[in-house]
Amino acid sequence: MLDIRFVRENIDQVNEAMKSRNFTWDSERFLQLDEDRRSAIAKEETLLAQRNAISKSIGQLMGEGKKEEAEAAKAEVAKLKEEIAYYSDLHDQAESELNKLILAVPNVPSDSTPVGKDETENPEVRRWGTPRTFDFDFKPHWDLGIDLGIIDFERAVKLAESRFVLLGGLGAKLERALINFMADTHTSRGYKEWWCPVMANAKTLTGTGQLPKFEEDLFKTTEGLYLIPTAEVQLTNIHSDEVLDVDQLPLKYCAFTPCFREEAGSAGRDTRGLIRLHQFDKVEMVKYAKPEESYDDLESMVADAENILQLLGLPYRVISLCTGDLGFSAAKTYDLEVWLPSYDAYKEISSCSNCEDFQARRANIKYKDPANFKGNRLVHTLNGSGLAVGRTMAAILENYQQEDGSIKVPDVLVPYMGGIEYIKPE
């Protein structure tokens, strides 16, 4: 959530930022609601001061035997209470409408975020690895999975519906191997691992920015809980409504969870295979950082995600998302895209973002640094995929396929696969 005072005092800058994000918002309504709220507060405070002064005088008047004046003062207090209630209601109404409006406004992009209209204008930062050249007719992962007997799409539809997947045999084992490998690698680099609920309440999802704007993308239970779209939701809110000590920062957390997304508006996109599912596994990274260090922490988080791909030997590239392609809560984002031969292109496998204090303000996450600052400051929150497991499996199947139809298991995964070096047809 943007700071209301910042928006008020920098309305032209915010308008320009929203324009660069292709986001339309009613800045005039914001200013009017803000003025209504502040005007009601000022009137309420003036009347409260008058009421308190008069109330204080009643006892004195009674003590001096001035009963009529005391009764008149009581009547004035009663009248002021009605006026205070009136302006208090105006204050609450304006504040409610203002909060509703500002909760739907995305973050202001960082100055280092490239300006662009959409994903076609995301600049490439770097590449790692060389896409493999095949001397045989390679197959897409959805055919490989079926041929190997490790992925069953048809029975997944029978059990649930489309955009779900059923893994069997070494497919299930490879999924577990990837999860454990990713979690172990991140914890070896200083991340504390958590095991999180896969359901979250509305307050938690509001803290990270999924609610209220993106409710249609979430699966909701009859009890009012939501299936989480990413472990970022839980990891970021672990310290909601808390004040951390500066010596704790940066905090580095990671967690594996299944993730659930409606994928509203994605009809017809990536309908085959493991790329776009309603349910998928992911290992997530989250950091709580000091504002002056958060962009260095973003770079190191990207390096942590890249490390997974490098250890797996998967070619990838890093792009910087432009303003028109930036996620709702992010001020700056790098996407990692892994090479998929079936697409003859790079596809997103990780997204690493610095949200600055946008989520911390919504979730009320602060830290104290009494040696350098008076009062408490909002932390900066960062999140990144480390990695999306299904897409990683797809990349391994395609990039490590052999001419005989088998899959060579990346060396770092062999211990997690119980020594199995090749996945062969069952």
Q: Which residue among the candidates 276, 293, 317, 406 is catalytic per the annotation?
A: 276
DSSP string, 343-362: TTEEEEEEEEEE-TTHHHHH
Mean pLDDT of 284-309: 98
Tokens at residue 235, please?
A: 């990891």
- Catalytic residue (one of 351, 353, 385, 398): 351
Confidence of residue 308 (pLDDT cuts 50, 70, 90): very high
Distances (CA, A) of 246 to 88, 237, 367: 37, 18, 6
Catalytic residue among 76, 97, 262, 348: 348
| Rounded Cα distance, 172 and 148, in Å | 12
331-332-338-340 Cα dihedral, nearest 10 degrees: 60
Q: Per-residue DSSP letters for 312-325? A: HT--EEEEE--GGG
Distances (CA, A) of 215 to 29, 67, 219: 24, 60, 8
Three-state SS at 256: strand
In which residue are the tokens 């990270």 written?
208
Query: What pLDDT score was predicted for residue 65?
Result: 73
Question: Omega before 250 cis (within 30°)?
Answer: yes
In this prediction the pTM is 0.93
- The per-residue pLDDT for 264 is 61
Which residue is catalytic, options 163, 261, 361, 377? Answer: 261
426: annotated active-site residue: no
Computed over every residue of the chain, the mean pLDDT equals: 95
Spatial distance between the Cα atoms of 413 and 400, rounded to a whole number of angstroms: 13
Active site residue 350: no
Q: What is the mean pLDDT of residues 130-148?
A: 97
Contact 113, 49 (CB under 8 A): no
Is the pLDDT at 407 greater than 70? The verdict is yes
Q: Which residue has the tokens 């292109």?
A: 345
CB atoms within 10 A of CB 90: 17
Exactly one of 350, 356, 391, 398 is catalytic; name it.
391
Asked if the model's pLDDT at residue 265 lies above 60, the reply is no
Give SS3 for 388: strand
Q: Are strands 151-152 and 124-128 parallel, antiparallel or unpaired?
A: unpaired
Could you report the per-residue pLDDT of 144-187, keeping only the tens digit for each?
A: 999 999 999 999 999 999 999 999 999 999 999 999 999 999 99
State both tokens at 370.
Answer: 């009494």
The enclosing H or E element of 337 equals: strand 332-340
pLDDT bucket at 263, cuts 50 / 70 / 90: confident
Q: What is the pLDDT of residue 266?
A: 58
Going by C-alpha positions, the residue among 283, 242, 248, 275 that lies closest to residue 384 is 283
Average pLDDT over residues 246-265: 92
Q: Could you confirm whether 276 is annotated as catalytic?
A: yes
Res. 60: pLDDT tops 90: no
Confidence band, pLDDT 50/70/90 cuts, at residue 268: low
Domains of the chain plus CATH, in order, are 4-102 (1.10.287.40), 119-423 (3.30.930.10)
Place of tokens 């032209």: 12
